[in-house]
Structures are given as structure tokens and as C-alpha cells.
Amino acid sequence: MKRNSFIYGSIILAFSSLIIRLISFSYDVFLSRVIGGEGIGIFHMIMPIFMIALTLTTSGIPTAISKITSREQSMGNHYMIIKNLKLSILLILGLCGMTSIILISQAKRINYFIFQDKDVVTSFFLLVPAIFLISITSAIRGFLYGLNKMAQAGMSEVVEHITRFIGVMLILSFFPPSDPWTAANIAIIGISIGEFFDLIYLIYLYKKQFRNTAFFLKKVSTRSMIHQIFSTASPLTILGIINLTSQFLISIILPKSLMVSGMSLLESTEAYGRIMGMTMPLIYLPYIFTSSLVINIIPSITSQLQKNSLRRIKKDIHLALSITLLIALPLSIVYVAFGNPLGTLLYEDSYVGTYIRIMGIATVFISLHHMLSGVLYGLGKEKYVAINHLIGMNVQLLSILYVRDPHYGLNAYFIGFILSSIVTCLLDWRLLLRTIDIHLAT
């Protein structure tokens, strides 16, 4: 890698991320206006099931592909790069097949237990192509990240969002939905449309990159390669399951606990909506900028680790953490100092302003944890990051138990949220110091 490749790649990803968010925002506005609130509501009811399926099929494997590709690229071993990608895709196809069979065979049961009187079985069937397509495109994109092809990887996501937008717009124009369920299903079909064109573009990039390169190297053990993929992917998959499980538990426990503390059903629902729908997007706002750094630093550190370039690794880590602090710390200060007027300005809701002011304390710690986790992934410490995250999640979940106490109420959740972010961040920092001698003042 060139000296400035880390910075250059991060800038490209940040720019493409900004474009993607603008397209996504425009698409959401268009979809909301055309299919209405009920259609959007049904669509978002299906998404948790979809995210669980994707966690089982993709979480961790793209990162494993990125790491192994970067390592083998640093040694010029193109055979192993291709073998890693193709074996990973075979594994993904197997996981997608098993997940889809479970989803289809249990569709009616899931529909009854989760959605009760709502019939979303057809939607489950429509999710299957999207599961396969997203899983494969994520794998190839991880391959591009490992090769430091950040512009191509970023462009593939732009292709996906634009073609989804155009595809859904055309379908809704020629075949206006007669009911909210049909409208929601068209939005689900749109996911597959975007991913299909993204896959075509990614296949083109792959063939262009390794047009005449052979597949297997006889001296390489397939079992060893599969072990490498799973050893990296498994902790990240577990981490994804932990995240989904904790979010699911919080969505159930928090509103009920608020009602026990003395709130009415309406008040508890409104409080939960203010936290998740209005406050959280601001708290996680730095991710727009830092996600590109996290994606880029994993293959960068893996490659430099293979070259035993400790000095370069320290410089990249120092730069990534410094940029993260430069973005997150001022935002955190703004939230704490001006949370109330910010909530009134954005949402015309004084309660949201209070939530922003309190939860804004965690912004800097959440952002640092995000960056530190990427650094530690690059250093091969995935399972320890998962353990740290699990500890933090337990702190947050335990805090909800105190929400039931009228003396604490919603403040118990706020305290747990902040403590969880601090604990996770400190655990990651301690792990980093034990792994490599790095200091922000270096």
C-alpha cells in the first residue's frame, strides 16, 4: 500500500457514504409519500426478520474475506485471494439456503407468533432472493475492501441504491398498489432489484481484476482456509446476534418497564419512540464519517501486520482515533450544551431535547468503541471484542430492570446507556494497550 492509501481510501468511502445517504433519504421520502404510513409500517415490521436472516448469512464473513484478501495481497498470492472468495461464497450460499428453508417452512408460525392477525407470509417468500443477493454482494465487496479498491466498493453501493430507487419507482408507476400490503411487498422486491444490478457490477469488477488467474493452489489446504474464514467470521456473527437480541429485548422490556414505573401506554410508547426514532440517529451521527475509517482500517492493519510494519500500524491507529475524537467530541459537547434547543429545533419536542442532552454524553464513547473495534478486528482480536460488547450490553440490559422503580424511571435507562458505552470503550482500549503499545500522544 502507498503511504497515503489509508487516508485516500477513507475519504473515498466517506464521500460515497454521503451520496448513498442522500439517495437513501430521497428514496425514503418518495416511498413514504407513495405507499403511505401503513405501507411503510408493514415494511418496517418485516425488516427485523430480514436483519436476523442477514446476520446468520453474512455477519462476519465479509470482514473475514477482507482480512484474508488483504493479507494474501501483501504477499502477492492471487491464488489464495480467489480461493478465499470462492470458498466464502460457497459457505454463504449454504447458509443462505438453510436460512431460507427455515424462513419458508416456519413462515406461518412466525407470522402467528410475531404478527398475529397480520398475514405477512408472502413477504417472507419475497425476502429469499434478497437474502441470497445481499449475502453474495457483501462478500464481493469485502473482497474489494481487502484489495484496497475503495472507489469500486463505494460505487457498487451507489449502483445498488440508484437502481433500487428507479426500479421501485417504475413498478409503482405502472402497477399502482391496491392496498398497503402490496405496497410493502413492492418495497421488498426493490431490495432484490438493487442488489441484482449491484451483483452484475461487482461480477464485472471481479472478472476485470482477475481475468486470467487460476482458482486453486494445490499446496493450500481447503480445510485450513475454511478454518481461517470461520475463526474470523464466527465472533462477528455472534456479535451481530448479540446486537439484534439486545435490541429486540430492549424494544419489549423498556416500554413495559416504563408502564410499571407509572407511565401510561401512550406515554411509554412516545418515550420509546423519542429515544429510538429521534435521539438515537443524532447520537450515532458520527458513524456517517467514521464508518469509512473502520471499513478501511481493518484490511490496512491486516496487511501491515503481515509485513510486520508496526510503525505504520501505530500511525494508522493514531490517525483513526484522532479523527474519531475530532468528529465525536465536539458533537458530544454540542449535544450536552445545546440538547434542549436542538430537540426543539429539529422535532419541536422539549422531551427529545432533554434526551439528547443526557444521552449525548455517550456519543464520544460509542464512536471510539466503533473505531477501536475495527482496529482490534484488524489485529485479530475479534472474539475479545465480542466479549467486551457482551459485557456492555449486559450493563445496559440490567439497567432497564431499575426503570420499573418510580424513583429511577427512564433515568435508569439513560444511566445504563451511558455506562454501557463507557465500559465497552474502556475494555476495548485496555485490550488495545495489551495488544500493541499505542498512545494518542504518539
Q: Rounded mean pLDDT of 85-107?
A: 89
Task: Measure the CA–CA gap between 172 and 195, rounded to whole angstroms.
Answer: 18
The pLDDT value recorded for residue 234 is 79
pLDDT > 70? residue 212 = no
pLDDT > 70? residue 244 = yes
Task: Measure the CA–CA gap between 62 and 158, rounded to whole angstroms.
Answer: 18
| Burial annotation 295-330 (CB, 10 A radius, 16+ → b, else e) | bbbbbbbbbbbeeebeebbbbbbeebbebbbebbee
Query: pLDDT per residue over 121-151, tens digit each?
Result: 788 889 999 999 999 999 999 888 888 888 8
The pLDDT value recorded for residue 442 is 41
Higher pLDDT, 347 or 342: 342
Per the listing, cell 406515554 goes with 267
CA distances 386 to 88, 248, 375, 427, Å, are 22, 18, 13, 11
Query: pLDDT per residue over 389-406, tens digit each?
Result: 889 988 988 888 888 888
pLDDT > 50? residue 83 = yes
Cell of 221: 489446504
Residue 431's pLDDT band (cuts 50, 70, 90): very high
The pLDDT value recorded for residue 440 is 46
Q: Rounded mean pLDDT of 192-212?
A: 84
Residue type, 331: L
With pLDDT > 70 as the criterion, what percentage of the chain qualifies?
91
The pLDDT value recorded for residue 132 is 95
Higher pLDDT, 82 or 367: 367
Cell of 340: 434542549
Q: Rounded mean pLDDT of 81-90?
A: 85
Q: Rounded mean pLDDT of 247-272?
A: 80
Task: Measure the CA–CA gap between 311 and 193, rounded to whole angstroms.
Answer: 45
Task: Measure the CA–CA gap between 14 and 313, rounded to whole angstroms.
Answer: 21
Q: Give the chain's count of helices (H) and strands (E).
A: 16, 0
Residue 117's pLDDT band (cuts 50, 70, 90): low
Alpha helices in 58-179 (DSSP H): 61-74, 78-105, 107-110, 121-146, 150-174
Task: Measure the CA–CA gap between 339 and 353, rounded to whole angstroms.
Answer: 5
The pLDDT value recorded for residue 309 is 78
Residue 347's pLDDT band (cuts 50, 70, 90): confident
3-state secondary structure of 348: coil
Residue 38's pLDDT band (cuts 50, 70, 90): low
Cell of 419: 455506562
Can you state the angle between helices 363-378 and 61-74, rounded to 10 degrees? 50
In whole numbers, what is the pLDDT of the chain averaged over residues?
A: 83
CA distances 402 to 117, 266, 392, 417, Å, are 33, 20, 16, 13
| Backbone dihedral angles phi then psi of residue 90, each to the nearest 5 degrees | -60, -45
Cell of 55: 446476520
Q: Cβ of 181: how many Cβ atoms within 10 Å?
A: 18
Give me Rg for the CA atoms of the chain: 22
The pLDDT value recorded for residue 346 is 79
The pLDDT value recorded for residue 118 is 59
Contact 70, 300 (CB under 8 A): yes
Query: pLDDT per residue over 151-184, tens digit each?
Result: 888 889 899 999 999 999 999 888 888 787 888 8
Candidate from 211-225, 236-250, 277-291 with smallest mean pLDDT: 211-225
CA distances 407 to 84, 125, 394, 404, Å, are 55, 47, 22, 9
Higher pLDDT, 405 or 324: 324
pLDDT > 50? residue 379 = yes
3-state secondary structure of 363: helix
- Most confident of the following: 28-32, 43-47, 61-65, 243-247: 61-65
The pLDDT value recorded for residue 129 is 94
Q: Rounded mean pLDDT of 283-303?
A: 83
Handedness of CA 292, 295, 298, 299 (dihedral sign): negative
Residue 86 burial by Cβ neighbours in a 10 Å radius (0-12, 13-18, 19+): middle
Nearest to 396 by CA among 224, 257, 206: 257
pTM: 0.75
Candidate from 5-9, 170-174, 394-398, 431-435 with smallest mean pLDDT: 5-9
Q: Cβ of 26: how many Cβ atoms within 10 Å?
A: 12
Q: Cβ of 433: how many Cβ atoms within 10 Å?
A: 11
Cell of 98: 438453510
